[in-house]
Each structure stands twice: as C-alpha cells, then as structure tokens.
C-alpha cells in the first residue's frame, strides 16, 4: 500500500477544517508513443479520503486511469496488454476503425494473468479516442475502479493547422466522471461500482482525471494566457453534462468524437453524454495572469431549459440510492483554471477553417434499418434493443461490407440513452421528437460521431459506411454507453459480411481422364488473393497449401499440374478466406 498521506491531502484536510478554499492539482496522464504500447492493467490504490485508501484500477504507473496513447494515422501499432486484475477483462479501443477481432469488445476476453496483443493500422482521423474494459456485466466494475485511458490520433491535416498541441501545456485531456464511496466490513472509502439496487449510477463527488472535488477542495489546472485546447471525455456511468464556463465565456468546439469539424463552432453550452468526446478551444489570451475561470456542469433543471431537462440523466432529485446523488440536479464546478504567462509560441488566433469533411449524405445510402430501444429500469425491467436483452450468441444485424447505411434509433423507453456503435464514425442526420425534448442535430454534433445522445421520446438517424473490415465470425457491438445499462443488456451486435464470401464456393471442378488435369473455377473479389488447400480426407485430413491465386475479376481458374495429387483416386480442395479478412 502507498502511504496514504500526500501534501495535497494535508492541504485538503486543513482547508476543509477551516472552511477555506484549497486546490488539488490536476493529474495529466503520461503519454506512450507508437509503434508498441505495453499496458499493464492492475489493481492499485489512491488516497481520496482520510482513514483508508481506495482500491483502484489503472493501466501502468498511475493510480487511476492510464497513459495517453499517441498514434498517427497510417501507422501500424502493436499493443501488449497484460491483465493483472483478479478477473477476466477486455480492453476496447473506443472509436477506432479496426478489425472486429482487434476491437476488444466482450468477445476478446483477456483471462487474468495473460497478455493480449492486438495489432492494427491506424485509419482514424485526428481526434480524441479512448480505451476501457468491455467485459459483459463487469464493465461498470472495471471502468468504475478507474480502468481507462485516452488515445490521441494525429494526422497530417491536423498537424498543419495552427492549433494548440503541446500536451499537458496548452493541450489538455480531461476525463469527467464521479464516484460514491462506501465502507465495507474490512475497509473505509471504497468506490461503489455496483449495478443494481445497492449500486450507484451517479457518483457524489466530481473527478477530473481521477482527481476529486471534495468539500472546499477543488481540482485546479494552471494554463497559459493564450488559446488552449481541452479534450473532454464523459466517462460517467449515466450522468450527462451540460458543460460551460463560470462567466458564460464563449468557447470554440474544434472536434467531435471522430475528427475535426469544418470550422470552430462558438458555444456557451455543450451537452456531453457518456462515451462522447469534444475538443474545444478556450481563449485565455485576454485574461489577466492570476485570474481564474471554472469549467462547470450546468445540470440544474433551471439551467437545462425545458427541452433538455426532459429525463436528463443526473437530474433525478434524490441524493441517495442507486439513482440519487449529491451532484444531481445542481450546477457544480468541475475544474478551476488559473491563468499564467503565455508560452513562447502561443496560439493567439482562432483558425477560421479547420478542414473540409466529406460527410455522408442520404444520397449515399444503400440500406436503411430501424432499431427500437424500449423497456424500463431494473428490477422491473431492462432497457433493450428490439425487445431482446443482449446475448453474446446472437447476431442482431448483418451489414454488407462497403454498405452506406442509415440507422434510425427510436427511443421508446422510459429514459434517455447514449447510443454507441463500434467500427464506424457516423454522420448524424436527424433528431426528431415531441416538443418536450431537444430535436435537430445540435451545433456541437456537426461532425464525425460514434456516440450520440437520444432522449426519451426521440428518434435519431445517422449515416455510416461499413468499410475495410468484414468477418463472419467476429461481431462488432452497438450499445447504450450508460455503463450500467450496457451491463444489464442494452447491447446488441452486428457482423459486417463480405458478400463476395458466398462466391468462395467452387463453382466447377472438372477432371479429365486419368492423370490429366483438374480445373477449379470459383467466383472471387477482384484483386483479392486466395489460398487453395488440398486434403485427401474431407473430415479428418490435414489441409495443405497448394497455391495462392489472385483474382483478376469475376472468376479464378486453377489448373492442377501436381503429378502426385493427380494420381490420387480422390482428393478435396478448399479455398481459404482472403488473408486481409479477419
């Protein structure tokens, strides 16, 4: 166990006792750079409250959360993730467009004491992504203990823009969450990470990067007198944030979940649901050195406005129980920002243009599907897609490789949700609903998204292209990113099918005479390399490679010339899945 007393905690205790405002410095996660990321997910502990440290989970050296992984578009990366938790877990690369088997969803389990080593090419646009456990029914437990981390993807387009990008100086990641403490027979001050009646869907104390606001002690960061970039992630269980600044300062959104927006969007409020990210610029260049501004959650009913307030997660009025919280239905401070001198090459102007996105349009759509979210909160019910709770053995949707689909999510359940889909970054298309909910795609959602807020009684449609990765064996997930809902079964799965896979059947096989020739003919995807295998026994034989053949178009012909195979009275050929299909 670490020593439970650190300087900040002494200040905390003294400050609290005297009722004097005091500050705890924000922790900035260290960075790891490509191509190889070694991650050790382990149990540790952290000082939060006097009496006993809190058991926490972290990747690598921290005591809550993990290092920020810096990746570059186009590069190949390798991750070696060792699970030193007492349970099986998984780690999902939220927002990354990668093969399903590398995705780290509930299927890619990592038994305790073992190492999982996914590898992939980074295809995403520059933006802020994240990683977190995704084991079905234990995601709240593992994420709740602090297991998670940021992924920052860089690309050439973003690198050419005059934006703040000195990590930890004028470019700061902020993960927002909250926790409630409880006391076990053995120990004080443990996180309540339970789902269900004795559990906790909304924490009592706000945390930024795992550092807690408590009493008169607030989390503080010192930022230079210039434009600064904040990469904000909502990693809550259920709480949605109505973000803004203490003096209604205008800030500028530059990125959504999966990339830059076309031009900075001026805002005074930004709603962020669990799983969503936003990159914003804050102009501190006219603030005096030593002055302060606070990042706030304007979550009180009065602050939300009529439409947003409808079934707003975190607006429940109770202060105790599974859905109560000391932070519910109030405006509260997240982070105290103190202004210091500018750095040597400060960004002092807002770029007018960021990029030209080729968003998907309805004209691109090749298939539409509608998914209905219904149900109620346990124990009386559970929120489900299309009337069925999640089963890991059921594939709920089949999507064709390269399809551009319009997905419409109808929320007819009794609560609001955060819909998340793996594999793709989508273009939000529409949000409709009654006059009591927010409708329309909001100013802060005009970009690439993988998670979107869907209030009760509303319907959201988005457009997505399912390219690059197909596998009949490895599904991708879609689910509510309110972690307790997900664990309860508000999750489903889809496979992306290479429709040409059906063409892999051998369409003709002819043998002429004795010891003459065998000709195989099968339809194939142009440009794809297939491997042919041969065996003398269909059921028990070992399959040996015969040849690789590259399709030039609609079919591939293979003429057998091997004398020993041709002299056999019987033999079998098989075509393997293309090697670029996972």
**Site for Cu ion, rule CB under 5 A:** 417, 480, 482, 485, 490
Which of 207, 194, 211, 292 has the alpha carbon at shortest distance from 249? 292
Q: Is 477 in the site for ligand C2O (CB under 6 A)?
A: yes
- To ligand C2O, the closest distance from the beta carbon of 273 in angstroms equals 12
Kindly state the smallest distance separating residue 140's Cβ from ligand C2O, in Å.
12
Which residue number, 94 or 180, has a Cβ lying nearer to ligand C2O?
94
Could you give the CA distance from residue 156 to residue 96 in angstroms, rounded to a whole number? 18
> CA–CA distance from 20 to each of 13, 216, 272, 336, 337 (Å)?
10, 7, 31, 15, 18
Task: Indicate the helix (H) or strand (E) that contains 91.
Answer: none
Cis omega (within 30 of 0) for bond into 2: no
In which region does residue 301 sit, left (phi positive, over 0), alpha (psi from -120 to 50) or beta (all else)? Answer: alpha
CB of 98 to ligand C2O, least distance (A): 13
> Considering only residues 46, 125, 132, 231, which one is a binding residue for ligand C2O as defined by CB under 6 A?
132
Burial bucket for residue 519 (CB in 10 Å: 0-12, 13-18, 19+): middle
179 with 214: CB under 8 angstroms?
no
Binds 417: which of Cu ion, ligand C2O, none (CB < 5-8 Å by kind) = Cu ion
Residue nearest to ligand C2O (CB): 94
Residue 92, contacted partner among Cu ion, ligand C2O, none, CB below 5-8 A by kind: ligand C2O
Tell me how far apart the alpha carbons of residues 567 and 560 are, in angstroms, rounded to a whole number. 11
Which part of the chain contacts ligand C2O (CB under 6 A), choosing from 33-41, 112-120, 193-201, 477-485?
A: 477-485
Closest separation in Å from C-beta 149 to ligand C2O: 12
Q: Which stretch binds ligand C2O (CB under 6 A): 60-68, 223-231, 330-338, 473-481?
A: 473-481
Size (the chain), residues: 582
Q: CA–CA distance from 410 to each of 223, 384, 399, 458 (Å)? A: 42, 12, 19, 6
Interface of this chain with ligand C2O, residues 83 to 112, rule: CB under 6 A: 92, 94
Instruction: Give all strands of the β-sheet with 451-454 in edge-to-edge order.
Output: 397-400, 491-497, 476-480, 417-421, 451-454
Three-class SS of 95-152? CCCCCHHHCCCCCCCECCCCEECCEEECCCCCEEEEEECCCCCCHHHHHHCCCCEEEE
Nearer to ligand C2O, 102 or 477 (CB): 477
Q: Which is nearer to Cu ion, 232 or 482 (CB)?
A: 482
Residue 224 touches which of ligand C2O, Cu ion, none (Cβ within 5-8 Å per kind)? none
Q: Pattern 228-267, binding to ligand C2O, x per CB under 6 A?
A: ----------------------------------------
Reading the block at residue 22, the tokens are 């005091």
Secondary structure class of 16 (helix, strand, coil): helix
Closest to ligand C2O by CB, 190 or 493: 493
- Binder of ligand C2O out of 99, 264, 275, 324 (CB under 6 A): 275
Q: Is 330 helix (H, G, I), strand (E, B) or coil?
A: coil
Q: How crowded is the C-beta side of 506, counted as CA atoms within 13 Å?
A: 17
The one among 200, 479, 546, 573 contacting ligand C2O by CB under 6 A = 479
Which residues are registered as beta bridge partners of 541? Answer: none
Which of residues 15 and 275 has its CB atom nearest to ligand C2O in the complex? 275
Output the six-digit token pair for 151. Answer: 């992924």
Query: Between residues 270 and 373, which has the closer beta carbon with respect to Cu ion?
Result: 373
- In the complex, least distance from residue 131 CB atom to ligand C2O, rounded to whole angstroms: 8
* Among ligand C2O, Cu ion, none, partner that 480 touches (CB below 5 to 8 angstroms by kind): Cu ion
Supply the minimum distance, in Å, between the C-beta of residue 455 and Cu ion: 11
Please choose, from the candidates 150, 166, 146, the residue with its C-alpha nearest in 3D space to the C-alpha of residue 54: 146
Which residues are CB-neighbours of 185 under 8 A, at least 6 positions away?
none
132 binds, among Cu ion, ligand C2O, none (CB under 5 to 8 A by kind): ligand C2O
136 in contact with ligand C2O (CB under 6 A): no
Residue 482 interaction partner, one of ligand C2O, Cu ion, none, beta carbon < 5-8 Å per kind: Cu ion
Please state the φ and ψ torsions of residue 208, each to the nearest 5 degrees: -120, 120
Nearer to ligand C2O, 336 or 481 (CB): 481
Q: Which residue is nearest to Cu ion (CB)?
A: 480
Phi-psi region of 507 (alpha: psi -120 to 50; beta: other; left: phi over 0): alpha
State the minimum distance, in angstroms, from the CB of residue 480 to ligand C2O: 10
422 interacts with ligand C2O by CB under 6 A: yes
Question: Which CB atom, from 85 or from 410, has the smaller least distance to Cu ion?
Answer: 410
Q: Indicate the residue among 92 and 107 with the shorter CB distance to ligand C2O.
A: 92
Determine the Cα–Cα distance for residues 172 and 221; give it in Å rounded to an integer.
10
Q: Which is nearer to Cu ion, 259 or 313 (CB)?
A: 313
Q: Which one of residues 134, 179, 229, 485 is an interface residue with ligand C2O (CB under 6 A)?
A: 134
- Contact residues: ligand C2O, CB under 6 A: 92, 94, 132, 134, 275, 420, 422, 477, 479, 481
């Amino acid at each position: 166990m670490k020593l439970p007393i650190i300087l900040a905690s002494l200040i905390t205790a003294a400050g609290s006792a005297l009722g004097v405002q005091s500050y705890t410095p924000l922790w900035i996660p260290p960075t790891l750079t490509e191509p190889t990321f070694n991650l050790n997910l382990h149990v540790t502990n952290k000082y939060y409250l006097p009496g006993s440290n809190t058991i926490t989970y972290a990747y690598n050296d921290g005591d809550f959360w993990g290092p920020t992984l810096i990746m570059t578009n186009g590069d190949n990366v390798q991750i070696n993730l060792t699970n030193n938790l007492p349970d099986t877990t998984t780690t999902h690369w939220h927002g990354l467009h990668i093969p399903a088997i590398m995705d780290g969803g509930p299927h890619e389990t990592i038994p305790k004491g073992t190492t999982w080593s996914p590898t992939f090419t980074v295809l995403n646009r520059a933006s802020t992504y994240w990683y977190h456990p995704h084991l079905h029914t234990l995601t709240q437990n593992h994420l709740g203990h602090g297991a998670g981390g940021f992924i920052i993807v860089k690309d050439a387009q973003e690198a050419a823009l005059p934006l703040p990008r000195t990590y930890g100086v004028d470019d700061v990641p902020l993960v927002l969450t909250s926790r409630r403490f409880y006391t076990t027979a053995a120990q004080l001050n443990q996180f309540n990470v339970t789902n269900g009646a004795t559990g906790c869907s909304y924490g009592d104390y706000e945390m930024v990067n795992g550092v807690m606001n408590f009493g008169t002690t607030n989390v503080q960061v010192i930022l230079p007198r210039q434009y600064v970039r904040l990469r904000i992630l909502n990693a809550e269980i259920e709480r949605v944030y109505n973000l803004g600044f203490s003096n209604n300062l205008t800030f500028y959104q530059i990125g959504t979940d999966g990339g830059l927006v076309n031009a900075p969007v001026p805002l005074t409020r930004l709603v962020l649901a669990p799983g969503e990210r936003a990159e914003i610029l804050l102009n501190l260049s006219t603030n005096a050195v030593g002055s302060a501004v606070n990042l706030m959650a304007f979550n009180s009913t009065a602050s939300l406005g009529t439409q947003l307030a409808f079934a707003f997660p975190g607006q429940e009025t109770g202060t105790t129980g599974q859905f109560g919280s000391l932070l519910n239905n109030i405006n509260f401070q997240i982070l105290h920002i103190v202004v210091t001198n500018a750095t040597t090459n400060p960004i002092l102007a807002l770029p007018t243009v960021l990029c030209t996105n080729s968003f998907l349009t309805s004209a691109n759509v090749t298939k539409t599907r509608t998914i209905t979210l219904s149900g109620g909160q346990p124990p009386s019910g559970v929120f489900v897609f299309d009337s069925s709770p999640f089963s890991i053995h059921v594939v709920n949707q089949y999507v064709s490789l390269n399809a551009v689909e319009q997905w419409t999510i109808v929320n007819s359940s009794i609560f609001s949700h955060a819909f998340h889909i793996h594999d793709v970054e989508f273009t939000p298309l529409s949000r409709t609903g009654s006059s009591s909910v927010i409708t329309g795609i909001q100013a802060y959602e005009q970009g690439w998204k993988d998670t979107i807020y869907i209030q009760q009684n509303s319907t959201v449609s988005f457009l997505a292209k399912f390219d690059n990765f197909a596998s009949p064996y490895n599904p991708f997930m879609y689910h509510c990113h309110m972690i307790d809902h997900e664990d309860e079964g508000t999750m489903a799965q889809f496979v992306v099918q290479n429709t040409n896979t059906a063409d892999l059947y051998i369409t003709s096989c002819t043998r002429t005479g004795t010891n003459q020739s065998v000709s195989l003919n099968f339809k194939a995807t142009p440009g794809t390399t297939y491997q042919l295998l041969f065996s003398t026994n269909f059921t028990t034989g070992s399959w040996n490679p015969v040849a690789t053949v590259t399709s030039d178009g609609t079919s591939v012909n293979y003429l057998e010339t091997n004398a020993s195979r041709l002299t056999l009275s019987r033999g079998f050929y098989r075509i393997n899945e293309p090697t670029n299909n996972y």
